[in-house]
Amino acid sequence: MYHIDMIYTIKTLSEKGKSQRAISKELSISRKTVRKYLELIQKAGFKEPHINKPKKLKEYKEVISNWLERGLTAQLIFDRLKSVNNVNVSYPTVSRFVKTLKCNEVFVPLISKPGEEAQVDYGYMGHFNKDGKEIKVWCFVMTLSFSRLKYVELVTNQNIESFLFSHIRAFEFFSGVPETVKIDNLKSGVIFPNFYESEIQTQYAEFLKYYGSAPITARVRRPQDKGKVEAGVKYVKNNFLKNIENKDFFQSQDELKKWITKINQKIHGTTKKVPLEQFTIIEKQKLITLPDVRYEIYRISKRKVNNYAHITFENNYYSVPSKFAGKEVIVKYNQNTLKIFIENNQIALHAITNGMGNFVTSEHHKPVYKQYKNKEYYLEKAQKIGIETFDFCKQVIEYKPYDYQRLINGVCHLAKVHGNNKVNGACKRSIEFGVFSYSSIKNICKKNLDNIPKESLVVENAKGYYQDLKMYDNLNYN
């Protein structure tokens, strides 16, 4: 089957300009496999490959080699050949064949160009004292593969947040970023421990992309893949850890900084050169320039959207578009900001609020019919009917600033029933008489009162002209 981290690694190496032969050699896989993955990357879609049943065990060499790299024993390989591939072979035959593969494996030194690669690993340092408590401590080590310059620090956990912060401090220590970072199969960097089934965490890939770099995972049971950093971890444990007497976390952190400064200025046992000199003279200018702003680290967790299109986060409720009600989402958050994603698509962004039980709702997340509309929205609807309707609605808003919405919606609905001209006439007549209600517009349209001359709707007496109150009845009631 295809494996996402293998795709990612081959893609990275190919984009760096390495040939299929070079990729095959570096990853210890056949050129045919490399070509298969490159074709997959180009097509952006694939089908499960069909493996023909070979007649001889040696034709399963690549398959068995992959199983070995995944940590399968000879017995498990024998069981799979029998049950999955239906190969008629004995266990001793499989065991001998596996031994020949192990004996024939030759380790080739991996030579890196300046600025091309850094290797990362953790090493367990034991228990230290921190703020009066005994805690577990690890050392984080990043080694530049060309110069062998090291960055080392003590950490109290290996979660993704700590992992990324250590990277940031290492990049800033180097004043630049390598093209690729080769990581061990850590929980922080790789979700599953097996190289061929591992999945590089999305945030780690995004983090390195922000800095212009890319990840490559080291294979399980292949220490030579990242021997530079593993040697560095052993060196820290054997030469620094054994020499410290007081295991105070903060004091040890300071001593470690002084110690690694001296180590970077000593002749390296393998290269026979001084790492700091190689870095300063050759490698430093080959590193990718740091961005102006640090990568902003977000914690990640999962949530389920409730039936009113909100998620719960730290005792408050935050909205997402209503169409995602009932869906599972990914939330990324820091102290101030909450981002909500479906797969890799951001669907909501909120400022985190204090308190408990608060609803933080974006208006555009509501269904259209429930979204708030301002007065400009209603006036625009009225203007499409006509100028008289626009004037009528404008005065309605002035007279009834808090409850004009339903009235204007009703008038606009009447235009669909009686037509724009009829409603315009009704609005003009209502303005003339100073009557601003939905029922007045409805009755004028229904009884054609807009066609009656205004003079016929008034009565003269000794006190002058006045409006016939019965006309108001006609205007306002059925």
Domains and CATH numbers, the chain: 4-104 (no CATH), 117-286 (3.30.420.10), 299-370 (no CATH), 375-476 (no CATH)
**Are the C-beta atoms of 438 and 475 separated by less than 8 Å?**
no
Q: Are 386 and 420 in contact (CB under 8 A)?
A: yes
DSSP state of 156: S
* 76-85, 145-154, 261-270, range with the lowest pLDDT: 76-85
Q: What is the number of other CB atoms lying within 10 angstroms of the CB of residue 393?
A: 24
Q: Per residue in 379-404, pLDDT tens?
A: 898 999 999 999 999 989 988 887 78
Name the most confidently modeled range: 40-49, 213-222, 385-394. 385-394
More confidently predicted of 327 and 47: 327
What's the CA gap between 316 and 319, in Å, rounded?
A: 10
Strand partners, 135: 128
How is residue 365 annotated by DSSP? G
Please write the tens of the pLDDT for every residue from 228-241.
555 667 888 878 88
Cβ neighbours of residue 146 closer than 8 Å, sequence gap 6 or more: 112, 113, 114, 115, 116, 117, 278, 282, 283
Give me 74's structure tokens. 């000879």
What is the average pLDDT across 182-189? 60
Does the pLDDT value for residue 246 go beyond 90? Answer: no
pLDDT value at 94 more than 90: no
Contacting residues for 124 by C-beta, under 8 A, at least 6 apart: 136, 137, 138
Q: Per-residue pLDDT tens for 103-152?
A: 554 444 457 899 999 998 888 888 999 988 999 999 999 999 999 999 99
CA dihedral 35→40→43→48, nearest 10 degrees, is 130
Out of 58-72, 379-393, 424-438, pick the least confident. 58-72
Q: How many CB atoms lie within 10 A of CB 292?
A: 5
What residue has token string 């009447």? Answer: 414
pLDDT at 223: 46
Q: In what order do the strands lie in the sheet with 328-333?
A: 299-304, 328-333, 337-342, 345-351
SS (H, E, C) 255-273: HHHHHHHHHCCCCCCCCCC
Query: Is residue 201 scored above 70 in pLDDT?
Result: no
**First-to-final CA distance of the chain:** 75
| pLDDT for res 63 | 80
